[in-house]
C-alpha cells in the first residue's frame, strides 16, 4: 500500500530524490519521475513493467520550461499549445541534447504536455525539472482515473500518491506530431479532432493499430481488462451469451443482466461523461465472475473517437 495524500512537499522531496510518485492529471493518473534523470526514468519503466521501446511524455507547467526540452517548434504547434495548454494535448517536438534518449526510446522527438490539474501544476511549479509520467498502470492494463486505482495496482511499488480526486477528462491526451510542418494525430484523446481542426485546419490521422515498436503510442493491444471483449450489437450478442457471466458496457441503454455486470457510460448520451467513465467501466468488468465483456461503439465524433479507440484496443 502506498501512502496517499495531498502533501505536495512530500511528493517534491521524493521526486528530488529520483523516486517515483503517483500524480493526478485531468486525463488519467501518471507515474511520475524526474524526466532528466536516467535513474528515475528506469524506475518508471521497472515499476510499470514497460518495455523500453515505448517512450514517455515529459510534463511541465509552462511553455517557458518546455522550451528547455525542444529545439524548434512549428508555428502550428505553437498555435495548438496556446489554444490547449494546460490541457489534454501532447506535442511531439525535436528534442534537445538534455533530454535523455531513455525518455524518448532513442527517437529524435520528445513528447511534451502541460497537464491541467491544480495539484500537479503546483507541484511542477515547485520543481526545477520536468516530470516523465506515463499512465500509472502496469503495462498493457487499463489506465487509472483515481488515486485508489493507482494504489490497487502499483501501491506496493510506489511510496506516495498525490490524491487529486477523479480525473475529469478520463481518457489520455491527444498526441500530435509534425511532418514537414504538417500536423498529424498519433493518438486520439482528450482534445477532440474538431477542436484541433478549429485551430489548425484539417489534420492527418495516423492512429492505426500496430504492434510495430517504431510506431510508438499505437500499441495494438492495450487497455486490456484481462478477458475477452467483443464489440458489436449488444442485444444480438447477448442472445448467444450466458447473462450471469457476461459483462456489458453500453452507451446509454440498460440490458437484461445483473446490475453488477453492467456499466452504462452515459444515460443522457453525453460523450464527455462517457469518456470520464470508460476506464472505470473496463475496471468493473475485472470482477472474477465475468467471463466475457460485450460492448458497443459510440458515435464517432467528439470524445467518442477516443473512447472507440480504447474499446478497440481493449478488444484485441
Report the residue number, 104 or 135, with the smaller CB distance to Mg ion: 135
Residue the block writes with cell 464489440: 231
Sheet containing 174-179: give its strands across. 3-5, 160-162, 21-23, 30-34, 131-132, 57-59, 109-113, 89-94, 174-179, 182-187, 204-205
Q: How far is the CB of 264 from ligand TXA (least distance, A)?
A: 25
Report the residue number, 57 or 123, with the smaller CB distance to ligand TXA: 57
Under a CB-based contact definition with an 8 Å cutoff, are residues 166 and 154 in contact? no
Residue 81's SS3 state is helix
Residue the block writes with cell 495548454: 85
Does 135 engage in binding with Mg ion (CB under 5 A)? yes
Residue 131 binds what, of Mg ion, ligand TXA, none (CB under 5 to 8 Å, by partner type)? none
Report the residue number, 172 or 296, with the smaller CB distance to ligand TXA: 172
Does 167 engage in binding with Mg ion (CB under 5 A)? no
Residue 246 binds what, of Mg ion, ligand TXA, none (CB under 5 to 8 Å, by partner type)? none
Q: How far is the CB of 135 from Mg ion (least distance, A)?
A: 3
Given the DSSP bridges, would you call strands 131-132 and 30-34 parallel, antiparallel or unpaired?
antiparallel
Q: Where are the alpha helices (DSSP H) in the chain?
A: 8-16, 38-48, 63-66, 75-84, 101-104, 118-126, 147-154, 193-200, 234-238, 271-284, 304-314
User: Which span (32-40, 45-53, 112-120, 131-139) binds Mg ion, by CB under 5 A?
Assistant: 131-139
CB atoms within 10 A of CB 160: 20
Report the residue number, 134 or 183, with the smaller CB distance to Mg ion: 134
Q: How far is the CB of 59 from ligand TXA (least distance, A)?
A: 6
Q: How far is the CB of 286 from ligand TXA (least distance, A)?
A: 19
- What are the distances in angstroms from CA 306 to CA 86, 252, 264, 312? 19, 17, 17, 10
Q: How far is the CB of 298 from ligand TXA (least distance, A)?
A: 19
Q: How far is the CB of 143 from Mg ion (least distance, A)?
A: 5
- What are the distances in angstroms from CA 205 to CA 11, 72, 186? 37, 22, 6
Q: How far is the CB of 288 from ligand TXA (least distance, A)?
A: 26
Site for Mg ion (CB under 5 A): how many residues? 1
Report the residue number, 71 or 291, with the smaller CB distance to ligand TXA: 71
Q: How far is the CB of 281 from ligand TXA (least distance, A)?
A: 18
Report the residue number, 30 or 304, with the smaller CB distance to ligand TXA: 30
Report the residue number, 55 or 247, with the smaller CB distance to ligand TXA: 55
Report the residue number, 172 or 309, with the smaller CB distance to ligand TXA: 172
Residues 6+ apart with CB under 8 A from 81: 63, 66, 73, 89, 91, 114
Residue closest to Mg ion (Cβ): 135
Q: What nine digits make up the cell of 150?
A: 493507482
Under a CB-based contact definition with an 8 Å cutoff, are residues 218 and 187 in contact? yes
Peptide bond before residue 86 is cis, with ω within 30 degrees of 0: yes
Q: Which residues bind ligand TXA (CB under 6 A)?
A: 25, 27-28, 30, 54-57, 88, 90, 92, 104, 107, 109-111, 113, 115, 133-135, 172-173, 175, 216-217
Binding site for Mg ion (CB under 5 A): 135
Amino acid at each position: 500500500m502506498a501512502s496517499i495524500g495531498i502533501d505536495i512537499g512530500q511528493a517534491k522531496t521524493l521526486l528530488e530524490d529520483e523516486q517515483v510518485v503517483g500524480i493526478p492529471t485531468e486525463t488519467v493518473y501518471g507515474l511520475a519521475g524526474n524526466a532528466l534523470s536516467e535513474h528515475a526514468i528506469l524506475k518508471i519503466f521497472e515499476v510499470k513493467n514497460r518495455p523500453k521501446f515505448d517512450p514517455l511524455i515529459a510534463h511541465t507547467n509552462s511553455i517557458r520550461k518546455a522550451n528547455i526540452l525542444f529545439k524548434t517548434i512549428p508555428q502550428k504547434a505553437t498555435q495548438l499549445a496556446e489554444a490547449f495548454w494546460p490541457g489534454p494535448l501532447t506535442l511531439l517536438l525535436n528534442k534537445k541534447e538534455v533530454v535523455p534518449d531513455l525518455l524518448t526510446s532513442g527517437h529524435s522527438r520528445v513528447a511534451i504536455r502541460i497537464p491541467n490539474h491544480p495539484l500537479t501544476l503546483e507541484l511542477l511549479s515547485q520543481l526545477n525539472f520536468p516530470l516523465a509520467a506515463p499512465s500509472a498502470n502496469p503495462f498493457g492494463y487499463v489506465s487509472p482515473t483515481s488515486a485508489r486505482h493507482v494504489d490497487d495496482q502499483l501501491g506496493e511499488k510506489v511510496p506516495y500518491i498525490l490524491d487529486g480526486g477523479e480525473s475529469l477528462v478520463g481518457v489520455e491526451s491527444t498526441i500530435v506530431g509534425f511532418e514537414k510542418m504538417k500536423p498529424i494525430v498519433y493518438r486520439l484523446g482528450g482534445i477532440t479532432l474538431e477542436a484541433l481542426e478549429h485551430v489548425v485546419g484539417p489534420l492527418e490521422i495516423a492512429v492505426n493499430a500496430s504492434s510495430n515498436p517504431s510506431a510508438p503510442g499505437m500499441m495494438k493491444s492495450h487497455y486490456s481488462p484481462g478477458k475477452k471483449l467483443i464489440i458489436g450489437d449488444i442485444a444480438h450478442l447477448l442472445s448467444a451469451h450466458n447473462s450471469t457471466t457476461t459483462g456489458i458496457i453500453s452507451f446509454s441503454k440498460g440490458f437484461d443482466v445483473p446490475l453488477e455486470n453492467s456499466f452504462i457510460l452515459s444515460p443522457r448520451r453525453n460523450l464527455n461523461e462517457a469518456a470520464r467513465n470508460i476506464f472505470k467501466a473496463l475496471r468493473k468488468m475485472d470482477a472474477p465472475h465475468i467471463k466475457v465483456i460485450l460492448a458497443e461503439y459510440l458515435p464517432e465524433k467528439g470524445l467518442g473517437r477516443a473512447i472507440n479507440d480504447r474499446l478497440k484496443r481493449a478488444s484485441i
